[in-house]
């Protein structure tokens, strides 16, 4: 069956804050433009997960009357705390200026994104939720022509079932890629157009989050707590966040830099252990865990930003890596990058015979507050390669004395190269979950409402089926069993312990992309499953 095609002026891949900001800005600039947004989740916001505390600058530029439009920014930040944890104590530290949240709001980013989707649709943007962009299309001259959605109804054997529906080609004069962290199509664009030639390796973290309903007597709306230290060792980058939203809800999460060295480390179990700390546990006792999820974060910052344009398209948001790590925020920078891109694309499309590459986008972005904001803090994340105390000392020096004007730029390294052999690292014994404040992976995945059509090809592809046993198990004790926060990867054996093999439970996948990033031989390739699959996050 041949694929049908649809034509638009602009196709946007990804219905997150950056993709929707681009769509809204395009329609504000030219209401006659036909704009389509593709979202692989079952609805806009279904796959969105973040802390989140949001700065409103970019939102106010995009929609100055957002308060009158009833934007779901309901809880202003009121109290910032920053603590260093030992196993038994919590020591309050001075809050770094980048983490001052005065004027910001604690939000459900999923609900904020759903609201943005409504604003886009009111302007005439067409949003196709439940359709995953699976392939980039090209013109004969090599420029991007658009994207194609994946086929539906392909069985595990790769053959069409009786429910087979071919994908649809969406052709565009310009395609905006807003896939979020480690986008599968963006990876292909990096290679085809050599977009990472002049930038550092991207470095990543994994963020794991739960939403709780707590005892009203313990709830303090607007309170923000960040911690470093225990349970991580001082050589592993990471820490926690804890945000009190409205309605007695608390968002709690843990971030681990994916450049960690010990293959025995499990980010999920570090998070569960964190909640048992005597300064943290009382908040959750007597409460109810509502939801769970995980996603990777692009932490490379300024020096990891790739070339942003190519013939026929642009990159925006977290797919390009605009997260401000010291602020622990990226929504404002992602949205602003998309707005600048939309302005460049709209100007390009207004030319009858203009060029196919929106080169004005990076030129204008470099003159915006996004560029200066990220440049100022560019050295803080890589300084933690010297460990927790070295990183804190350097960050203080750069922040208070040099104010981001150091005459050098520190470097990153690829996360998958940081993993040491299992024999070189101490094993980590994690306590069993108590079912009160700590839980196992499978019960956690259950409350993420994750679901995939079972009879479909696995969207987690192995480039070489022998590598998981011959290399990963042999040298690294199968770290995919631990860095995956959803129990997707499992080593199974015969009854006598022989004949180990890797079992991939793709049904559990939260779409966090950690396996694609951390696999030591880069043998795992994450591609999109059927549209509509994956988590369905409420209020995350």
Positive or negative: CA dihedral 95, 98, 102, 108: negative
> Helical H runs in 275-359?
281-284, 331-349
Closest CA to 230 of 91, 432, 87, 57: 87
Q: What is the pLDDT of residue 1?
A: 67
Indicate the Cα dihedral angle 447, 539, 323, 73, nearest 10°: -170
Per residue in 55-95, pLDDT (tens digit) is 999 999 999 999 999 999 999 999 999 999 999 999 999 99
CATH for the 441-535 domain, from 3.30.450.90, 3.40.1190.20, 3.30.70.20, 3.30.70.260: 3.30.70.20
Helix (H, G, I), strand (E, B) or coil at 24: helix
Q: Distance between alpha carbon 30 and the CA centroid of its chain, in Å? A: 30
Could you state, in order of their start, the residue ranges of all structural domains in the chain?
Answer: 5-68+111-200+302-377, 379-415, 441-535
Say if residues 110 and 45 touch (Cβ distance below 8 Å).
Answer: yes
Per residue in 209-267, pLDDT (tens digit) is 999 999 999 999 999 999 999 999 999 999 999 999 999 999 999 999 999 999 999 99
Write out residues in the chain with pLDDT < 70, as ranges.
1
Whether the link from the prior residue into 52 is cis, omega within 30° of 0, is yes
Task: Tokens for 390, please give them.
Answer: 């070295």
Task: Tokens for 440, please give them.
Answer: 């196992």
- Answer yes or no: same fold for 5-68+111-200+302-377 and 441-535: no
Between the alpha carbon of residue 248 and those of residues 75, 83, 231, 242, 384, the distances in Å are 11, 23, 27, 13, 35
CATH topology assigned to domain 5-68+111-200+302-377: FAD/NAD(P)-binding domain (3.50.50)
Tokens 């995953």 locate to 132
Q: What is the pLDDT of residue 2?
A: 82
Q: What is the pLDDT of residue 235?
A: 96
Q: What is the pLDDT of residue 203?
A: 97
Catalytic residues, by residue number, are 50, 295, 331, 484, 509, 512, 515
- In sequence order, the 6+-apart residues with CB closer than 8 A to the CB of 64 are none
Q: What is the pLDDT of residue 142?
A: 97
Say if residues 416 and 522 touch (Cβ distance below 8 Å).
Answer: yes
**Model pTM?**
0.96
Q: What angle do CA 528, 530, 535 make, to 5 degrees?
A: 80
Q: What is the pLDDT of residue 404?
A: 86
């Amino acid at each position: 069956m041949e694929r049908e095609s649809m034509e638009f002026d602009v196709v946007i891949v990804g219905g997150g804050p950056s993709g929707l900001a681009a769509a809204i800005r395009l329609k504000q600039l030219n209401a006659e433009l036909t704009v389509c947004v593709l979202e692989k989740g079952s609805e806009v916001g279904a796959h969105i997960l973040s802390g989140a505390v949001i700065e409103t600058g970019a939102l106010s530029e995009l929609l100055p009357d957002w308060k009158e439009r009833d934007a779901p920014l309901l809880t202003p930040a009121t109290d910032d705390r920053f603590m260093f944890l030992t196993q038994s104590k919590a020591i309050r530290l001075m809050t770094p200026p980048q983490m001052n949240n005065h004027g910001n709001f604690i939000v459900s980013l999923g609900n904020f994104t759903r609201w943005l989707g409504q604003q886009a649709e009111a302007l005439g943007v067409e949003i196709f939720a439940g359709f995953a962009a699976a392939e980039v299309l090209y013109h004969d001259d090599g420029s991007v022509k658009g994207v194609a959605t994946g086929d539906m109804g392909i069985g595990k054997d790769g053959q069409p079932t009786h429910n087979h529906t071919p994908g649809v080609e969406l052709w565009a004069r310009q395609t905006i890629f807003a896939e979020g962290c480690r986008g599968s199509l963006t990876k292909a664009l990096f290679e085809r157009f050599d977009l990472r030639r002049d930038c550092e390796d991207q470095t990543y973290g994994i963020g794991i989050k739960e939403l709780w309903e707590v005892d009203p007597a313990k709830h303090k709306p607007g309170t923000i707590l960040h911690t470093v230290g225990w349970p991580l060792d001082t050589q592993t980058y990471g820490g926690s966040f804890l945000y009190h939203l409205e309605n007695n809800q608390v968002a709690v999460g843990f971030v681990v830099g994916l450049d960690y060295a010990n293959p025995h480390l499990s980010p999920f179990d570090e998070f569960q252990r964190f909640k048992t700390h005597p300064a943290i546990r009382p908040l959750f006792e007597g409460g109810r865990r509502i939801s769970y999820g995980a996603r990777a974060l692009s932490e490379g910052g300024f020096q990891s930003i790739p070339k942003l344009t190519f013939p026929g398209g642009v990159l925006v948001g977290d797919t390009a890596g605009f997260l401000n790590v010291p602020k622990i925020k990226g929504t404002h920078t992602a949205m602003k990058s998309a707005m600048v891109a939309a302005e460049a694309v709209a100007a390009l499309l207004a030319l009858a015979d203009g060029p196919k590459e929106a080169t004005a986008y990076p030129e204008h972005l470099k003159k915006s507050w996004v560029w200066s904001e990220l440049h100022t803090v560019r050295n803080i994340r890589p300084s933690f390669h010297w460990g927790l105390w070295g990183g804190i000392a350097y960050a203080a020096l750069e922040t208070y004395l040099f104010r981001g004007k150091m005459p050098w730029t520190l470097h990153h390294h690829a996360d998958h190269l940081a993993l040491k052999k299992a024999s070189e690292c101490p094993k980590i014994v994690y306590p069993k979950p108590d079912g009160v404040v700590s839980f196992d992976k499978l019960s956690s995945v259950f409350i993420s409402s994750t679901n995939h059509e079972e009879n479909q090809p696995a969207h987690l592809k192995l480039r070489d089926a022998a590598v998981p046993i011959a290399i990963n198990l042999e040298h690294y004790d199968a770290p995919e069993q631990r860095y995956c926060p959803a129990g997707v990867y499992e080593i199974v054996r015969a009854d006598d312990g022989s004949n180990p093999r890797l079992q991939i439970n793709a049904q559990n996948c939260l779409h966090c992309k950690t396996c694609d990033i951390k696999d030591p031989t880069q043998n795992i390739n994450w591609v999109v499953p059927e549209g509509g699959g994956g988590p369905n996050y409420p209020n995350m």
